[in-house]
Amino acid sequence: MTVCFLSTSLLGQTDSLSKQVLYRLIRNEQKDGQIIYTDRLGQSTIAKINKYLAGTQIRGYDRTANKIVINLTNAEQKSLRSNLQLLKKFRWTDSVFAGSSRIPVDSMWQQITKKNQEFANIYRTALQHNDSSVLTNFISDRVTYCNTFQFSPLIFMRNKKLFAFYILRLCGGNCGIEDLSIYKLNDGQYKKWLTITGGAF
């Protein structure tokens, strides 16, 4: 059994199936609008992923909060650790999806701050003009407008029956989600199986 990235190079070139799955996972977090994402994962994020995936077991909880342990063979451990090391070099290309744009990971907070300031100006203008459409959808519009993503490539295991995926969505200091989960192939579709770590804030 092998563990591999479903990407064809470290430069972020990803095949069409992977792109479809990634796009669906990201759109679960932002239904519409432009997708802004970082060119790579931050070092602290890579360290966190390694903490949970680079051992002899992967532990998580299913949808009914049952604890599940995946015991990795020696070959799986070696292959997974090798692939996790590649995250340090992995870079996403620009416009990896239609309607998406890449920014440097080091400018993530600058981007979020800028978008929040822009949205505050939009909101103030709406208040002055009593624009009910903006006022009614304030929270959802702010989240969509300010979202910035970090996400990993899909890390496949067990002949592509499973993959691990990390996603971080931030729209402010106390606005976003973080999720590291295992997805399982079920009836021809990948569905979230185990949550390893994460939360909403």
Q: Is the pTM of this model over 0.85?
A: yes
Q: Two tokens at 4?
A: 């591999």
Q: Two tokens at 166?
A: 């990390």
* Phi, psi dihedrals of residue 62, rounded to the nearest 5°: -80, -175
Q: Count CB neighbours of 61 within 10 A.
A: 15
Residue type, 16: S
Question: What's the distance, CA 31 to chain centroid?
Answer: 14
pLDDT at 14: 64
Q: What is the mean pLDDT of residues 171-187?
A: 95
| 5, pLDDT greater than 60 | no
pLDDT at 201: 86
Environment class of residue 70 by beta-carbon count within 10 Å: exposed (0-12), middle (13-18) or buried (19+)? Answer: middle
pLDDT at 4: 38
Cα–Cα distances in Å, from 191 out to 17, 50, 85, 161, 201? 15, 22, 26, 11, 23
Average pLDDT, the chain: 89
Q: How far apart are CA 47 and CA 109, in angstroms?
A: 19
Any idea what the Cα angle at residue 155 is, between residues 143 and 179, rounded to 5°?
30
Cα–Cα distances in Å, from 72 out to 132, 157, 163, 177, 197? 55, 10, 13, 28, 18
